[in-house]
């Protein structure tokens, strides 16, 4: 199926750390709409994310040439899994 091939191609793209979901939607007027959520490291510069999205879009297009739309959602820094984040993250300032 195209979904697994697309996911494999996205995971093979250097700089993409994870693929959370890939969906292929058949449109009534013909063609496909492909959506995916791609994970990037928290220290990945925004410019690199933009460039990697274009590389990923080309990889998807090579697998699904009939796609009329490709929507890639970057997930740059997901929520922390711990309930008690370290206190060095907070900055408290007082005013006199």
The predicted pLDDT at position 56 comes to 95
Dist. CA 66–CA 51, nearest whole Å: 23
The predicted pLDDT at position 91 comes to 61
The predicted pLDDT at position 44 comes to 86
The predicted pLDDT at position 25 comes to 93
Residue 46 lies in a domain: yes
Strands of the sheet with 67-75, listed across from one edge: 18-26, 32-39, 67-75
Residues spanned by the domain of 40 = 2-78
Dist. CA 77–CA 79, nearest whole Å: 7
Residue 88 lies in a domain: no
Residue 96 lies in a domain: no
Which residues does the chain have with pLDDT short of 50? none
Contacts of 12 (CB under 8 A, 6+ apart): 59
Residue 84 lies in a domain: no
Residue 67 lies in a domain: yes
Contacts of 73 (CB under 8 A, 6+ apart): 35, 36, 37, 38
Contact 64, 32 (CB under 8 A): yes
Q: Which residues on adjacent β-strands are paired with residue 70?
A: 34
The predicted pLDDT at position 2 comes to 85
- CATH number of the domain at 48, please: 3.30.70.1350
The predicted pLDDT at position 52 comes to 95
Residue 34 lies in a domain: yes
Domain count, the chain: 1
Residue 14 lies in a domain: yes
Residue 40 lies in a domain: yes
The predicted pLDDT at position 37 comes to 95
């Amino acid at each position: 199926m195209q979904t697994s091939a697309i996911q494999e191609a996205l995971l093979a793209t250097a700089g993409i750390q994870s693929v959370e979901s890939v969906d292929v939607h058949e449109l009534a007027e013909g063609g496909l709409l492909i959506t995916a959520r791609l994970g990037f490291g928290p220290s990945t510069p925004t410019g690199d994310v933009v460039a990697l999205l274009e590389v990923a879009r080309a990889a998807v297009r090579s697998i699904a040439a009939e796609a009329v739309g490709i929507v890639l959602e970057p997930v740059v820094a997901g929520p922390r899994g711990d309930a008690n984040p370290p206190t060095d993250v907070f900055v408290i300032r007082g005013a006199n």
